[in-house]
Amino acid sequence: MSSEQTNTESGHGSADADRLAGDEPAHENARQDVIAVDAEDEATGTVNRLEAHTGDGVRHRAFTCMVFDGAGRILLAQRAPEKRLWDTHWDGTVASHPVEGQSQKEATRQRLEEELGVRPDQYSDLQVTDKFEYKRYYPNEGVEWEVCAVLKVTLEDTTLSPDDAEIGGRLWVDYEHLHENPKLYRQLRLCPWFEIAMRRDVA
């Protein structure tokens, strides 16, 4: 596992810190926990999800899954406008966090179904292909500090039923062209973890 250089752009989530302190109703993420980890992805306990993404953050376990079709296209999914971090940015394709006792594959299967309506019988090749650590600030809202596993899957049936609360736009893109020419797609505002995963993908 390698570590991506920390982005020192300022943007600490003071508003959410106030909510944690009880000044406002808690964000939905405040009712969830994620798995805190060390630099080697060894679990060190659990941490409140909002706390992990506020201020300077807490390193935690995460995943991103690239979803392909049989023609080698990747599905780019736009994060819904209501997302607190990287709202309306384009992901390739879903990203989230396993809960305690859940494997990366189990968490990915769950999120594929919850976010895109993709059932396990639509694919058979879900694999973990990479893992990296990164830290990025999102101005005025919070931070992602994650040890992120990368998974890939090819859909045999590309039927989708996305949850509007999670997914905005959808776009199938030639992955080879995107991988070789990322600057041509910058107008889409790609999520940083997806950009890192794609840059590291040399297959």
- 141-182 residue pLDDT tens: 799 999 999 999 999 999 999 999 999 999 999 999 999 998
| Other Cβ atoms closer than 10 A to 43 | 12
Q: In whole angstroms, give the CA distance from residue 110 to residue 120.
A: 9
Q: In whole angstroms, give the CA distance from residue 167 to residue 197.
A: 20
Q: In whole angstroms, give the CA distance from residue 106 to residue 112.
A: 10
**Could you list the residue range(s) of the whole structural domain that residue 70 is in?**
2-200
Q: What is the pLDDT of residue 186?
A: 86
Q: Which residue has the higher pLDDT, 177 or 9?
A: 177
Helix (H/G/I), strand (E/B), else coil: 31: helix
Region of residue 9 (phi > 0: left; psi between -120 and 50: alpha; otherwise: beta):
beta
| Other Cβ atoms closer than 10 A to 72 | 11
Identified catalytic residue from 115, 146, 166, 195: 146
Could you tell me which of 65, 171, 68, 146 has the C-alpha nearest to residue 109?
65
CATH code assigned at 52: 3.90.79.10
Side chain identity at residue 158, one-letter code = T
Could you tell me which of 129, 145, 111, 103 has the C-alpha nearest to residue 200?
129
- Chain centroid to CA 67: 13
Could you tell me which of 72, 65, 70, 64 has the C-alpha nearest to residue 173?
72
Instruction: Return the sign of the alpha-carbon dihedral for residues 167, 171, 174, 177.
Output: negative
CA angle 91, 163, 136 (to 5 degrees): 30
What is the number of structural domains in the chain?
Answer: 1
- 50-92 residue pLDDT tens: 999 999 999 999 999 999 999 999 999 999 988 888 899 999 9
146 is catalytic: yes
Tell me the percentage of the chain whose pLDDT exceeds 90: 75
Side chain identity at residue 162, one-letter code = P
